[in-house]
Structure 1
Amino acid sequence: MTETQQGPRARYREQTRAEIKEAALRQLADGGAGALALTRIAKALGLSGPALYRYFANRDDLLSALIRDAYDDAATAIGEAAATVRDRSPRERLRVLAGAYRAWAISEPHRYLLIQGSPEPGYVAPDDTLERARAVLGPFLPVFAGGSPGADAASMVDRMASWLEAEAGVGAWVAEYVPGAAGDVRASAVALAGAVMAWAQLHGAVGLEVAGQFAGMGHDGETLLAAQNGMLADAFGLSGER
């Protein structure tokens, strides 16, 4: 079969896969992962059940595709934000990156919840989601690379140094975003400790906000996140100057 003959077929397949994913996202938005039903998707798109399985092997396969897309979109949002503040101070970069993370999550709450925890009992995410998750967190690494962590963060830096020594792949990930830290366990550990702590902080504050847990508490997610960013920046001695 010629390439010309294959082209339209491949395009049709990708278009159908995209339509299936769009229908699945509507179900997720309406009722979470538990509402995802392949039979309902097939009916909505005018497909038979067996026809839908030509595009996704099963429900977990479809969930995995949605998770990959969500990570990729979140990484794009964070990466674009990082590009706009590359020459700003570390504190300002942290503020902007954290704000981009929050903005994506509250604009895509059903997709955020899909990647911040197991979508349902028994589901196991494919191995390739690890690299996608690291792409979301990666732009935070250079923010902390030049930091001077105080005593409160010292134990976390030590723990990250042990992780780096145990897994070569972690060092390669840090070096991808902080080339100057390649081969320097201490510098890599500082960058990694800050990024991991930022992720934990973001997940806590943003996760609570997306889940509606701030209702009636007299504050908003943006104010809380700004306060947390300030404390984390202080813990790592991040400069407010370029």
Structure 2
Amino acid sequence: MAATGAKTPRERYRAQVRAEVKEHAWEQIATAGASALSLNAIAKQMGMSGPALYRYFASRDELITELIRDAYRGLADAVRAAAAEGADLAGLAHALREWALADPQRYFLVYGTPVPGYHAPEDFTGIAREIMATLLDASAALPPAGSATAFHTHLEGHRDWAGDHPAPPAALHRALSFWARLHGVLSLELAGHFTGMGFDPDRFFAAELDDLLADRA
């Protein structure tokens, strides 16, 4: 009998096939986008029939869900690992950018245009909050700057997105600014909108980060 927790040969084979399906799915997404993802096309590439492949993924949405969950989980792990090594808010920014540049399609599946007709499951919210909690920790660790603003007052009563994190309104604002502005820069860079403009995206990202840290919300 297999040891407790050990996978049977059938379970290992199933995991291998599912992993191969996801590899082909990423290739399709890189070529034609997530909206064009086709289980039947993947089945042909793998020398399988469509019905056979559906034993591993019941639908296109199930496959997309797995891909997004893997991507979200990978980002959460990267951010958490950086924080565990002592990264401050700037360090987390660079960890985010390194993760995004390593696989733009993975980034866009999470933060790009939603896939038409697809509805993400609720557990994604938990992973997103885990990432935001790490950003809030780093934001709250910075000394406060400036006086309270009208938006800070607004955030006092509109902080559901932060879960039960105890960060004060100024830190909430700082984390939101960090999240919105740096994702904006990354999205433009990864989509190729800086191509031919003649400046270094690395330096632009660093300059935006410096500006965010100087403002300190």
TM-score (norm 2): 0.88
Partner of 1:205: 185
Out of 140, 153, 156, the position equivalent to 1:161 is 156
Contact 2:189 2:201 in 1 (8 A): yes
Q: More helix by proportion, 1 or 2?
A: 1
Partner of 2:107: 112
Partner of 1:170: 162
Query: Secondary structure of the residue that 1:218 maps to in structure 2?
Result: coil
Contact 2:129 2:163 in 1 (8 A): no
- Higher relative CO (Cα under 8 Å, sequence separation at least 6) belongs to 1
2-side partners of 1:140 and 1:60: how far apart? 30
Partner of 1:177: none
Partner of 2:72: 71
Q: After superposition, what is the alpha-carbon deviation per residue over 1:168-207, rounded to whole angstroms, capped at 9, x for unaligned?
A: x8342x2xxxxxx3xxxxx443332221211101110000
Contact 1:171 1:188 in 2 (8 A): no
| Equivalent residue pairs, number | 214
Structure 2 counterpart of 1:225, one-letter code: F
Alignment of 1:29-68 (within 5 A): 29-68=30-69
Partner of 2:212: 232
Residue 141 of structure 1 pairs with residue 136 of structure 2: yes
The 3 A distance-change label for structure 1 pair 3 and 188 is farther
Once the two structures are TM-superposed, the CA of residue 6 in structure 1 deviates from its matched residue by 6.8
Across the aligned residues of Structure 1 and Structure 2, the Cα RMSD in angstroms comes to 2.2
The 3 A distance-change label for structure 1 pair 6 and 226 is closer
- Structure 1: unaligned runs, 5 residues or longer: 87-92, 175-180, 182-186, 238-242
Identity %: 44
Where has structure 1 moved over 3 Å in runs of 4 or more? 2-6
- Structure 2: unaligned runs, 5 residues or longer: none
Partner of 1:220: 200
Query: Secondary structure of the residue that 2:149 maps to in structure 1?
Result: helix
The 3 A distance-change label for structure 1 pair 27 and 229 is same
1-side partners of 2:110 and 2:158: how far apart? 23
